[in-house]
Structures are given as C-alpha cells and as structure tokens.
Structure 1
C-alpha cells in the first residue's frame, strides 16, 4: 500500500489513461452485441408467455369438456325422470295429481332444453378456443424460430468476444488496484456521467477530446508538464497531453493484439 503514495503524477495519468483504453475496448465489445442480449431475453419472456397462454386454454378446454359431460348426465337424468313421471300419470287418482306430474315433466323438459343450450354454447367456446390455440401455436413457433436465430447470433458473438472481454476485465481490475481509491472513484463517476464512457481524454488540437471545448494555452502547457491532474472545466473529464496518450495507445494496441 505504501507504494501508491510514491507514484508520480505522470504514472497516475498513464495508469488512468491505460485503464480508460481498456474499459473503452470492453465498451466496444459490448456494443458489438448491441441489443441482442435484451432481444433474446424479451423473446424468451414472450415464448414463456405464449406457452402459459396455451396451457391455460388447454386447461379451459378440459373444464368445458367436463361441463359438457355434466350437462349430458343431467339430460339423461331428466329423461329418466320424464319417463318415470309419465308412468306415474297412468296410475293417478285425480286431476290434481296428474297436473302435478305434468308440471314435473315440464320442468324436466325445460332442464333438458337449458342443458342443450349450454352444451351448444360450450361447443362454440371450444371451437373458438381451439382457433385461438392454433393461432397462438403458430405465433409460438415463429417466436421460437426467431429466438433460436437470435441466440445463435448472440452465441457466435460471445464465442468471438467473451475470452477477450474476460481478459480485459481482469486487466481493468488489475489496473484499478494500482490507482488510489479517490482517483478510481472520480474516474468511475465521470464515466457514469458521460454518454461515451470517456473519463480520461487527450488534448487534441487545443481542445478536450470528447467535448471539443477549447483549452487555454497556459492550461495545455500545464497538462503537458504532467505535474498535477487537471480536469476539463466543461465536462469534468481528466485531461492528458497528446504525446502521453499516443504512447499509451501504442502500448495498449500491442497488449490487445495478444488477446
């Protein structure tokens, strides 16, 4: 830990810019994947949702089928009751008993009529649900094919880049341990606050890289002296001189080529 306090400002600037170059390379790799991981995740969720929908409709069909069976049993029971009441009518002793049995027959006939109506409705519902299931299965098949295709694309990109990203991530972590905590905290804060993730930028043609605001000549001289860490007053980015940036870029290109 004591060695960190002995590091010169120039060494800190070089380490910070090296870290920036490594993290920018990781950003590039992840950008190559683009929205693919999210697309794959969304497709997986959609496929799962379609499967759930089909399962629900299948369950509904089972329930409706049982309802039809129940109504058919009710119809058979009603027919048996009608037959029984008809036999009883043959042995009635007066009109009052005959009329009471007639009302029972009429009630059972209405029960049959209502049950048949319900069965008709259930069958129409079955046809509708089967049609919906068919459409959903078609959509599911299409989404599954699309998912396989997108997963293939993602796997191909991962196969090409995962090893490099893992090695770069390890290098990034190694470099972080060589830089004092307050600078790492500032570096990460700046990276999170800028769109392109550039927290350490070189001075290019008298302006800050990434923001393009002109830097006063005396400040450029101060940056080139590498005696203290200077930030861009407009963007908050840490600034390094062009020569240092070029040297570190060449060093990092050699390192990247080994991955």
Structure 2
C-alpha cells in the first residue's frame, strides 16, 4: 500500500508520513497490562498514534502499511522510543519494579544499525533494574530467518531485552518463531479470546497454547479482554497477564501517568 484516501481532501502518502515525522506529529499511546492473579499493573504496550493538525488522530491501521512499504518504520520507531523514554524518565522512581514496556518491531528495526544502541539507551535512561523492554515481533512483516538477525537478537538479549510474539496463533509462522528464537512472552490474539465462550475450537486452541507456553517457560498475555467473564476465564486457564478495553483503551502519556502510575502510587501509600 502506497497511499490511502482519508477523504477527498487528504491522501496519506509516504511523503506526508515523512513530513509528519519531521514535524513530530506522531506520539505514543499506552495500554496497561495487568497480572491476572493480583490485578496489579505490570506494564504497558506502546502504540503509535498520528495526531494530524487538521483532522485529529489517524489510526495506525491506515499509516503503518504505507510506512512499511516505504521504509519509514525505522524513523517512526525511533521517534516512538525517544518520546516514550522522555515520558517515563521523570516518573521512573514511581514505576513498579520489573515494569514491562512493549514496543512493536519488525525486521527493519532489528536490522537497523542504530537499533541496539537505542534499546540500550532506553534501558539506561529508565533503569535496567526497574523496567523490562519487550520487543513485540509483528506478523505484518515477518522476521527474516538469517544469521545476521539471529546475531542481533542474541546481542539484544545479552542486554536483557526481552521478546514477545504478537498476535500469536493467527499465522503459522508464529509457531515457527518458537523453534528459531528464544522468546519470553506470547501475546494471544484477541480473536481467540473473544470467541472462547461460544466456540469450543477457539477454547481448545487457547488451552493448548497455555499448556505449550507453560512447558516452554513462556509467559502469556491475553489481548483484547473486553468482559469480566473473559478475564476470569483467562485467569482460570493459567494465563498470567491481561490487556484490553475492560481495563483501559490506549491513552496518551499524560493520562497513563496520572491514571495508572500516580494513582497506583497514592493507593500504595
């Protein structure tokens, strides 16, 4: 995809995205993740939003495919990481220990010569002992299975960078990744969660993935939790982490800090 018509007045093109990067129009939004047992905040997924000066928020579903086909993912991710770092560094003393920060990446990011240093810098700025940086491997643009990629992944893991497989189970290649890479988390696709109550096949798939993850010592995050019943079902299946609109939609940095970091600190006191 090289362009997308928002309306008759605005067409999203690579040139428009590139200009928006220069103008700092992209910003991180954060969706909290919770422990299924204790209910405590354990981390967040960082999601990119385009705050267009004329039409407001543009969904990543529109601009990410264009960015991926135009070699613009690297500068977008770089901007996202820097802004995320700036948001959290002033409140890192309030962040719960082992706080997970998940960022979506693909092969372009992994192969970027500056990416390793960006990850190291983020960990150093926010505290290596305080946060866990999790790189969520996207299915949209599959990770290349080459010696170079394996070498870079090994280097990142030596810096204590963790890896997650996003939208797990939707594509066959996610299972292939389990054979080729040492991953720390599986993010169970929301389609399985939402069909679990009414579809026995979906429920069996969730049960099988939970059992597989347990045998491989991999933690599971259930995405797309929308009801209390879904949250209880995932907890009963031994799935450790929950994420979804039941708890919160993705929110701006200011809202996330005030609602989930500062308020948690007040409650703990």
The bucket for the TM-score relative to the shorter chain is under 0.3
TM-score of the aligned structures, taking structure 1 as reference length: 0.19
Larger radius of gyration: 1
Q: Which has the higher contact order (CA 8 A, sep 6+)?
A: 1
Higher strand content, 1 or 2: 2
Whose helix fraction is larger, Structure 1's or Structure 2's?
1
